[in-house]
Structures are given as C-alpha cells and as structure tokens.
Structure 1
Amino acid sequence: MSKRDKIIVGISIGDLNGIGSEIILKTFQDARILDFCTPVIFASVKTMSFFKKAYGLDVPVYGIDSLEKIAHKKINVFNVWKENVDITFGKEDKNIGAYAVKSLEATVKALKEEHVDVMVTAPINKSNVQSESFNFPGHTDYLAKELEGESLMLMVSNNLRVGLLTDHVAVKDISANITRELIEKKISIIHKTLIQDFGIQKPKIAVLGINPHNGDNGVIGTEDDTVLIPALTNIRNNGKLVFGPYAADSFFGSGNYKNFDVIIASYHDQGLIPFKTLSFGTGVNYTAGLNRIRTSPDHGTAYDVAGKNIADFESFKQAVFTAIDIFNSREAYAEISENPLKTNRRKAFSKKS
C-alpha cells in the first residue's frame, strides 16, 4: 500500500437485482463523505444511471474507462461493461450473477495493482455467481485465493468483534474441521489483526466452546477437552491473552463479551447470530489476515426489499468508514514497525518537554 492524499475505495456492485446499488448510491448521496475518500464503483455508467432513475436519486457520477483517470471529489464509475443489462429487482438470475463476478474480479484486480487502496463489496447471491470459472462459497474464499495471507471472517461493530474458526462449512463437518493447528493459526491471525488493524497493543481474546456447555466433561462431545483446551493452553503459554473456552449459550446474554477485544466462535451461526442480534444494521464484515483490506455490510442481497427504495444503507456506510480506519491504522503500524527507535525517541522527548 502507498500513501495517498485521499484513500481510494474500490466498490464491487454486487447482485444488480438486490439492494447493492441502492445502498451504494445512498451512502454517497451525502457529499461530505467525499472529504474522507474517493469512491470508484466497478460497474458501468449506463447501469448506475438506471439505478439513479429507479430510486429518484440526484447523485452525480463520473464515468471513467481508465483507472489512471480517477478523480477526487467525484463518485467515479469504472466501466467494466458498456452494454445495457436487463435488471429485475428481487429476482435470482444467473446472468446477473455473472455481472456481479465481473465487477468483483475487476475490483480485486484494481486492489492488487494498487489503483485502489481498499475494497468494499456489495452483497452477492452465492448461488447465482457459481460457474466453471468461479466456484467459491463467497467473497472470503475468493479473496483468500487472489490475495496474500490467511483469510478470516471478522464481524465488527462499535462495541463488538466476532471472529470465526470455521465460516461457510456445513454443520455436519464443523468438528472435523476444527484442529489444534487451525485454532492456533486463526488466533494468531486475530491477534495480529487487532494490533495492526485496530491499534490494540495487548488484545484480550475470548474463545467459545465447540459443544454445548463445552461438552460437559465429555458427556456432550469430547472435542473441547481433546482439541480446543490443549490448543488454548499452548497459546497462553506463548504469551497471548486468550481466555476460555466459554459456554456459548450464556456468554452474550450475560454481557461477558464486553470484557474482551474479540470473541472467537467455533462456527458461523454460533458467532453471527449473537453478533447480528446485537449489531444488525451497523455491523461490518471484515476479511482479516490478508495483505489488502476488504469490508462489506453485514447483510445479503435482500431481494424482498430490492427496488422498493427502502433499504437501510447504514451498514454499507460503516463498511466504507471501517475500511478507511483500518487502512490508516495499518499505515501507522507500518511506520512504527519500520522506525521503532525513532518513534521511541519521539515519545521520550515528548515526556521530557
């Protein structure tokens, strides 16, 4: 990543029959956001003009055919395609899925080539994007292939962060996927992420049990005793502040989550149900552990409200600001890491004066 006067946010359009277009345009309808970043929507001017008319929005967009022509103080639209697209709000359509993939691939390419600094993805339909050339359960898995690092789904809101040991894995396969090696790798990723991306120097990490009541000493399963607890003991012995395992059923209701910087759940619903209950509409999905920054809103395509001009864009707006904050945090962390002596001298001088 390179420093810029203003952070450039690459935006993939998502499912054109869903609410992605609406939440993107309504986020940038407030021109003040252009003081913080420069957006580049990867779609087409024709398509965005259709959406502006459909929603009755007066949001000026600036079409570009080259990423060298990105203009600050404007809502840039990079033309990934030029033809008209047959859009039917609320309908699942394989052809629309193909356009979502085109936008995603173009945005990731721009991110890798550093034409944009961060990436924010509008929701896709995981079913209609599948093809011979694109066969991934979701954004996270695709980004893990395209970018460097080890990806991890981290849900973020103002007062809560939830990470997952396993994400898009069938329930019947969860326990087989959770190994000591996986636990140690995921917690290492989370630990580094909290330091470099969120500025937390000594992260406190809580881990939820795999089975109900942590297995009740083997009565409801042995994985907590044979896999999870030994892994956490080893991590603690290496100096990380890791706590648990905690029984998942009472952890959030008791408010215990407020005592930690992050909570790690064993599987998707164990973590995301309480997260979305507590933070729905303001939460952000962050793909941690990669060399580039990607965020998204905490919801899907919402076909049931698509085209009705009533979609809540708060989560998408938070995804934009979270990406900006993480970019700035990484820049500061990189500067400190490269010049630790210089930074320490500056602090010491400050204290003396």
Structure 2
Amino acid sequence: NSDDWPVVDPLPSYGRGRELPGGRHRSLIYGRNLTDVIITGDNGTIDGQGSVWWNWFRSKTLNYTRPHLVELMNSTGVVISNLTFLNSPFWTIHPVYCSHVIVQDVTILAPLDSPNTDGIDPDSSDDVCIEDCYISTGDDLISIKSGWDEYGISFARPSRNIIIRRLTGHNRNGSGIAIGSEMSGGVSEVYAENIYFFNSSTGIILKTARGRGGYVRNIYISNVTLVGVDTAIFFNSNFSQHPDEFYDPNSLPVIERITFKDVIGDNIKVAGLLKGIEGDSFRHICLLNITLDVTTKSPWNCSNIQGYSSLVSPETCEPLKESIYPKHYSDCYLLPNHLRSSGNQNKGSWLF
C-alpha cells in the first residue's frame, strides 16, 4: 500500500511533487543535512521493487509523487560506489542541494519500459563526479536539473561543475545525457567524456521551454560513441510541462556556449534536431570533428540557433555552417586538456 510510505514536503525548487500536486513519497534511502556520507558495497544489490509503483502510476491511483530509490538533500561529501541499483520506483539516485558528490562504479538497471526510472539526476548540486557507470533504464541515464519554473527561479541554486566520464548504457524512451527540462536555477560547467550509448532513443538532449527561465551555458561534451541511436543530438525547446498556472511564459531560458567534440555514430537516424525558441535563439553552439552514419535523407533540422562547426559529416545545417577556425575559436566552449586524465589515479577528482 502506498500509504505505508511516508510523505515528505515538496522540494522548494519545484513547489509541488514532480508528478502530482502536494508532497511526495520519501525515498527508500533518504537523508538530509548530512556530511561525509558513504553508500558502498562489494557490488551488492539494492532492489527498489518498483513494479508495484509503476503499476500504480499507470493506473493513476497514486495521490503523491513516487519515491526515488536514493535521495540525499542538503548534504556534503557524498560517495556512492560499487553497488547495483535495481527497479527504482522513480528516479534512481537523486542528490539535491548537495555539494561534492561522487558516484562511481555503479550499475543501474530497470526495464526499458519502466516509467521515469532515470539513472542519476544531480539537481541543484555542485562539484559532482559521475564515472565508470553502466545504466540501462526506462528514461534518461543521466539528467542534470535545477528546479522547475518560478520555483526554481526563486530558489536560484544552480547545478554546476559536473563531470561525467566513462559512462555506458542504453534505454528505449530517454536519452544518454539530458540537461533539463527542470533547469530554472541554471546549469553550467558540465564536462562529459568517454561516453558510449547504444540502441537508444537519443544521445544527448537539452530540454527546456518558455517559462523555464534560468540558463544552460558552458557545456563541453567530447569523445562520444553512439550506435543504433535514433537522434544523436536533440534540443527540445517545447518541453512544456509546468508546475501550475502561475509560471511566467515570458521567462525565457538563456542557452549558450555548448560544444560537442569528437563524436562518432553508426546507424543513426537523425544527426541533429536542434530547435531553439523563436525570439530566444540558442547561441554559440559548436560542433567539432563529428562523423555520423545517418540513415535518413535530412540529417539535420535546425531553427532559432546560432553557432559554428568544423569537420562535421554529414554537413551540418545552415545556422551552424560558419567555420570555428580561426575566427570563432574563442566563441566556442573549447577546453582541450581541461579534464583530468582518465586513469584510475584520478577517480573521484573534480576540475577545481
């Protein structure tokens, strides 16, 4: 019975439960205002037994938002490692309002048709390192968030300084790495490298909408391999779920300085579906050294974006055709050698 699970207050940056008005069910593993937290094991397994929650969700019999499997709030110095997480009722690992978080050597599994079973969702958190993980779920493998519409704008805690490296996985309905759609507090300084996604809907997605406000800037994604992915890169600017009727439709997100470098793909349906917002173009979008084997005749579909490209195949869309070199190098978020090396000696290290 879902009533056996305690109900906690909604997050202040969301204003309500993510699925339903009011509170939300407390996660199986839950903590707040903690320091130096370690959740680890010798590849032990934590099973959320989420199928009953998925059935309640599908039958619309829940009164509150489903619980996560792991949620830590307002905590510092968090390490989650060497574990397998199965069948989360909702998002699997959700650090929110946290600092100095490491998630490493973790496997996350849920059926490909399980609803909203995101893998790891850093939310209004900073100095986060996610590495050496395998994720196969029913939604986004990684989703970086920072609050929802007017509540996220008011709370104003961004997600920043986030490293994602050596990530492998697939899904059916989500993406490999997502930013948003709840990004109203801002997202910046995200670095992802050595990524392998296969048999998935989308490789990398940015989700936003009118009314979100906030910003997404200084994003650097490199060394990505995609196999059997429907859409390699997707900017969805019409992700128009809102917490209530009080959001401001004139609050527009600022999207700028996003770079994709060294991306290869095989059996890709669409190279890029890049849609900004009319009157609010996404700026300084840069594509460098990208080679995709695309199966459709129209590999790129772009509107309301501005940027540059070099060494892209198939040839990119008109708004991005101007060359990066030499004139626009400084306009792109290009950081060669910025990430630490990928060796084990740097496991769990941040940029700063």
Q: TM-score of the superposition, structure 2-length normalised?
A: 0.30
Q: TM-score of the superposition, structure 1-length normalised?
A: 0.30
Task: From the two aligned structures, give the one with the greater helix fraction.
Answer: 1
Larger-Rg structure: 1
